[in-house]
Amino acid sequence: MVQKVLPQVVGNNLNLTVTKPKHMEMTMTNNNYIKRLFMFFLAVALFAAPGAVFAGVPDGVKKDLLEKGKKVYFKRCVWCHGVEGGGDGPSAERLYTRPRNFIQGTFKIRTTDSGELPMESDLIKTVKNGLQGSAMPAWGEFLSEDEIVAVVNFVKTLVQDRSFDDTEDEEVNNVITGIAADNGKGPLGDAPWAATKGPYHLGVPQEHIDAGKELFIKNKCMECHGGEGRGDGNPTMKDDWGFPIVAANWQECWNFRGARRDPFNPFNVARTISTGLNGSPMPNFREQMTGKERWQVAAFVNSLCPRKKIDPLTNKPVPDFLIQSVYTEGPVVPKIDDPSWQSSYTDHRIVPLSEETIENPMRHYIAMAGQITRGKRNFDPKTDNLWVSSRWSAEENAVYYLVEFDNRFLSTDPEYPDAVAIQWPGQLQDLFGAEKPYFIYGDSKKPVDVWKANFLAKDYNATNPPNEKGYQLDVTVQEFKGNGFDAISEKESEGKVEVVDSIFHQGRVKVMFKRSLTTEGADDVQIPSEQFIPVSFMQWAGWDKEHDEHMAISTWYYTILKPALPASLYYMPPIIAAVFICFQGWLVWMTKRTRKMYDEGKVQRDELPK
Ligand code: HEC
Ligand code: HEC
């Protein structure tokens, strides 16, 4: 009984804060946080004590595992999921999406019907693989199989007034085993799984992807997921607990909650479409679509996600640490839509580039994280990656960087514009070897040069229906010198960095920076060619009121202005080819001639060369 009372005390304590005078708010909040932590530890001490609390445990729970499961829970899970599983541990408030409240038995990733409890095997997979794109870790790295099964059984006891019966859902199961109920064959035809093998699951025939696109339009997925699937369809959704929620971005499939650390596998999407995500606005589509059709939509959704190598530690793409700037004959075309800037987001080692784009700059993947070392920390950055491509021109003496990122909604508040910045060492010539300034705004000895583009979209409103052409951006460029977090100043000299083209289209921002390689400014980076230059990135989501140090940052990457290809590289390949063809022709001619001589009896068998 004692246990039941405690959380209420914690609750009352919280309510007190509301009545305190405004000027005391800061200290009170701190005090209260400490008090709450104290109460939390007290509650943990009481609850975590071993004892016979497992009387009256419902069926479907393995009682013999509970003592062990409870230990794991109070060691690993309680910080987020709370003492009674209410999703209210001390870390909960900072997280988005919030840790799950287990009490009502609402689980997103299941192989059971909407509203149903999951199978034990679903929960085991969840705990093992985590929920990608949320704070829920992949526990397979830290816990043994036994511990996972045990903690899952303990979590089941936190669900109130419902019982786990672990009955399989035949219809969903058909999707899983690859037998689509409607035709008794594999999900996409005769050969179950044949179309979906391999780590990148690239084998699905185009006809299914095209059919999937039709179904995507017919079933109005875009009302929530946006026209190109970046989750930019609806900014006003809430989950069952009243917290704001956004639709998944299909172009970042590694952030799908149910990705199971296998993000390119269309099965994970087929499962979501078949079962919906309980507690969220994501419905199931079992009445609207047959099993095969759900697989086709899944194949379409899956085809939008760029193939990149996934880092098993972060479960996100491995960053492309070297940004290669491509040498351009004559001037660079300063237009994002120009064919000279087109290339795939997919790693070209996985899907080779097409003829037209083979010489274009590659789109490099840059990993971003919230700034959490100083000032207003950002635990929940809206963007976790950027894509950067670059060209340079000796004729223009200039370099261009095209920076792109997905952001579902932009700010409309001039006080909080969206922004993105490139950071350089201010005094590149003074750095030795791998030396770099401090990665956020440099330090007293090693200054940085920051090029920042602030922008608002013209005539934009987050609730507008998607705009086919996209929105032009109103950009203001600022250049800063940084000598540390507290020593950032806007340069007084005339600006040299330009944004030559920009757009916001279907949830993606694109901004093209240009600067001359050399300048007169003492605080400007001077950019040499054929040398590795440290470079890093910052980004602010105005929609989330990010500004100043409340931002997303990258670590240092390198960029290099690649040299023009030496002329010999242009004429050598044809010459080599010509020589090779002549040689082959000579071989054929020789063989024929020898054979002829042999046939005509001009040479005897033992005279033939061995
Ligand atoms: C750092 C915080 C954190 C820790 C620690 C944590 N979780 Fe979670 N967990 C979350 C978040 C956040 C969600 C909800 C994600 C969402 O809804 O998108 C979640 C959701 C879940 C779910 C619901 C899955 C579903 O399908 O909806 C289960 C089950 C779960 N966690 C089990 C555990 C277990 C077991 C542990 C300990 C071994 C644990 N969690 C530790 C943050 C955490
Ligand atoms: C009413 C709004 C809505 C509609 C319509 C909708 N979705 Fe969703 N969808 C969501 C939301 C919200 C989420 C994210 C839930 C979360 O983060 O927990 C989501 C998530 C997803 C995910 C990611 C699942 C995961 O593992 O995280 C996929 C895939 C998906 N939806 C596919 C579809 C497809 C395909 C359609 C159309 C056939 C569709 N959705 C229609 C709201 C919607």
72 Cβ inside 6 Å of ligand 2: no
Tell me how far the alpha carbon of residue 204 lies from the centroid of ligand 2, in angstroms.
Answer: 21
- 18 band by pLDDT with thresholds 50, 70 and 90: very low
CA–CA separation, 454 and 495 (whole Å):
14
- The burial class, CB within 10 Å (0-12 / 13-18 / 19+), for 75 is middle
CA distances (Å), origin 404, targets 108, 187, 277, 449, 475: 31, 36, 30, 20, 15
For residue 314, say if its preceding peptide bond is cis, omega within 30 degrees of 0. no
271 Cβ inside 6 Å of ligand 1: no
CA–CA separation, 94 and 422 (whole Å):
28
CA–CA separation, 453 and 479 (whole Å):
9
Determine the pLDDT at residue 181.
53
CA distances (Å), origin 72, targets 68, 106, 150, 598: 7, 21, 8, 84
Closest CA to ligand 1's atom 43: 136
Q: Which residue is associated with the tokens 């799908």?
A: 256
Q: Which residue is associated with the tokens 């921002």?
A: 509
Closest CA to ligand 1's atom 16: 97
Residues 554/367, Cβ–Cβ less than 8 Å: yes
Tell me how far the alpha carbon of residue 564 lies from the centroid of ligand 1, in angstroms.
Answer: 52
Determine the pLDDT at residue 4.
33
Which one has a higher pLDDT value, 3 or 401? 401
Is residue 446 scored above 90 in pLDDT? Answer: yes
Number of CB atoms found within 10 A of residue 522's CB: 10
77 Cβ inside 6 Å of ligand 1: yes
Report long-range pairs for 584-591 (Cβ below 8 Å, ≥24 apart): none
127 Cβ inside 6 Å of ligand 1: yes
Residues 263/256, Cβ–Cβ less than 8 Å: yes
- 263 band by pLDDT with thresholds 50, 70 and 90: very high
Is residue 599 scored above 80 in pLDDT? Answer: no
Is residue 454 scored above 80 in pLDDT? Answer: yes
pLDDT-above-70 percentage for the chain: 87
Name the nearest CA neighbour of 351 among 264, 429, 229, 223: 264
Determine the pLDDT at residue 541.
96
Number of CB atoms found within 10 A of residue 496's CB: 17
Which one of 30-39, 176-185, 192-201, 530-539 scores highest in mean pLDDT? 530-539
CA–CA separation, 132 and 96 (whole Å):
12
Q: Which ligand is nearest to the CA of 108?
A: 1
Which one has a higher pLDDT value, 564 or 505? 505
CB half-sphere exposure, 457, CA atoms < 13 A: 27
Pocket test for ligand 1, best of 68, 76, 100 (most atoms within 8 A of CB): 100
Which one has a higher pLDDT value, 565 or 67? 67
134 Cβ inside 6 Å of ligand 1: yes
Q: What is the mean pLDDT of residues 321-328?
A: 96
Closest CA to ligand 1's atom 23: 107
Residues 133/253, Cβ–Cβ less than 8 Å: no
Closest CA to ligand 2's atom 24: 256
109 Cβ inside 6 Å of ligand 1: yes
What is the longest distance spanned by two Cα atoms in the chain? 116
Determine the pLDDT at residue 463.
86
Sign of the alpha-carbon dihedral angle for 269, 275, 277, 282: positive
Is residue 134 scored above 80 in pLDDT? Answer: yes
CA–CA separation, 42 and 321 (whole Å):
47
CA–CA separation, 513 and 542 (whole Å):
20
Instruction: Count the residues in the chain.
Output: 610
CA–CA separation, 204 and 129 (whole Å):
25
CA–CA separation, 4 and 8 (whole Å):
8
**Lowest pLDDT segment from 40-44, 160-164, 205-209, 533-537:** 40-44
Name the nearest CA neighbour of 456 among 404, 379, 511: 511
477 Cβ inside 6 Å of ligand 1: no
219 Cβ inside 6 Å of ligand 2: yes
CA–CA separation, 115 and 162 (whole Å):
12
pLDDT-above-90 percentage for the chain: 63
Tell me how far the alpha carbon of residue 100 lies from the centroid of ligand 1, in angstroms.
Answer: 6
In the structure encoding, which two tokens stand for residue 107, read together? 């689980």
- 9 band by pLDDT with thresholds 50, 70 and 90: very low
Closest CA to ligand 2's atom 20: 248
For residue 97, say if its preceding peptide bond is cis, omega within 30 degrees of 0. yes
Determine the pLDDT at residue 249.
98
108 Cβ inside 6 Å of ligand 2: yes
CA distances (Å), origin 270, targets 191, 192, 407: 17, 14, 25
Nearest atom in ligand 1 to the alpha carbon of residue 135 is 12
Nearest atom in ligand 2 to the alpha carbon of residue 285 is 38
Determine the pLDDT at residue 15.
32
Q: What is the mean pLDDT of residues 334-355?
A: 94
**Lowest pLDDT segment from 3-7, 55-59, 297-301, 399-403:** 3-7
Residues 332/400, Cβ–Cβ less than 8 Å: yes
152 Cβ inside 6 Å of ligand 2: no
Is residue 93 scored above 50 in pLDDT? Answer: yes
Determine the pLDDT at residue 192.
46
Name the nearest CA neighbour of 338 among 559, 512, 564: 512
CA–CA separation, 559 and 383 (whole Å):
22
Is residue 8 scored above 60 in pLDDT? Answer: no
Is residue 11 scored above 50 in pLDDT? Answer: no
Determine the pLDDT at residue 7.
33
Predicted confidence (pLDDT) per residue in 100-111, tens digit: 999 999 999 999
Closest CA to ligand 1's atom 30: 127
Tell me how far the alpha carbon of residue 265 lies from the centroid of ligand 1, in angstroms.
Answer: 22
Is residue 10 scored above 80 in pLDDT? Answer: no
Closest CA to ligand 2's atom 14: 247
258 Cβ inside 6 Å of ligand 2: yes
Which one has a higher pLDDT value, 371 or 604? 371
Q: What is the mean pLDDT of residues 499-508?
A: 97
Determine the pLDDT at residue 194.
53
Sign of the alpha-carbon dihedral angle for 178, 182, 184, 186: negative
Tell me how far the alpha carbon of residue 69 lies from the centroid of ligand 1, in angstroms.
Answer: 15
CA–CA separation, 332 and 179 (whole Å):
53
Pocket test for ligand 2, best of 129, 208, 277, 280 (most atoms within 8 A of CB): 277
In the structure encoding, which two tokens stand for residue 152, read together? 């899952």
CA–CA separation, 270 and 586 (whole Å):
58
Q: Which residue is associated with the tokens 């909407």?
A: 114
Tell me how far the alpha carbon of residue 30 lies from the centroid of ligand 1, in angstroms.
Answer: 26
Is residue 118 scored above 70 in pLDDT? Answer: yes
Q: What is the mean pLDDT of residues 449-472?
A: 91
Determine the pLDDT at residue 14.
33
Determine the pLDDT at residue 589.
74
In the structure encoding, which two tokens stand for residue 50, read together? 């071993």
Tell me how far the alpha carbon of residue 143 lies from the centroid of ligand 1, in angstroms.
Answer: 14
In the structure encoding, which two tokens stand for residue 586, read together? 């000579």
Cα Rg of the chain (Å, integer)? 30
Determine the pLDDT at residue 57.
77
Determine the pLDDT at residue 536.
97
Is residue 205 scored above 90 in pLDDT? Answer: no
Nearest atom in ligand 1 to the alpha carbon of residue 239 is 17
256 Cβ inside 6 Å of ligand 2: yes
In the structure encoding, which two tokens stand for residue 69, read together? 């499961």
Residues 312/260, Cβ–Cβ less than 8 Å: no
In the structure encoding, which two tokens stand for residue 389, read together? 């491509």
273 Cβ inside 6 Å of ligand 2: yes
Which one has a higher pLDDT value, 610 or 175? 175
Is residue 17 scored above 50 in pLDDT? Answer: no
Tell me how far the alpha carbon of residue 356 lies from the centroid of ligand 1, in angstroms.
Answer: 46
- 96 band by pLDDT with thresholds 50, 70 and 90: confident
Name the nearest CA neighbour of 490 among 449, 545, 438: 449
Predicted confidence (pLDDT) per residue in 404-430, tens digit: 999 999 999 999 999 999 999 999 999
CA distances (Å), origin 298, targets 105, 188, 265, 302, 303: 27, 11, 9, 6, 8
CA–CA separation, 219 and 298 (whole Å):
13
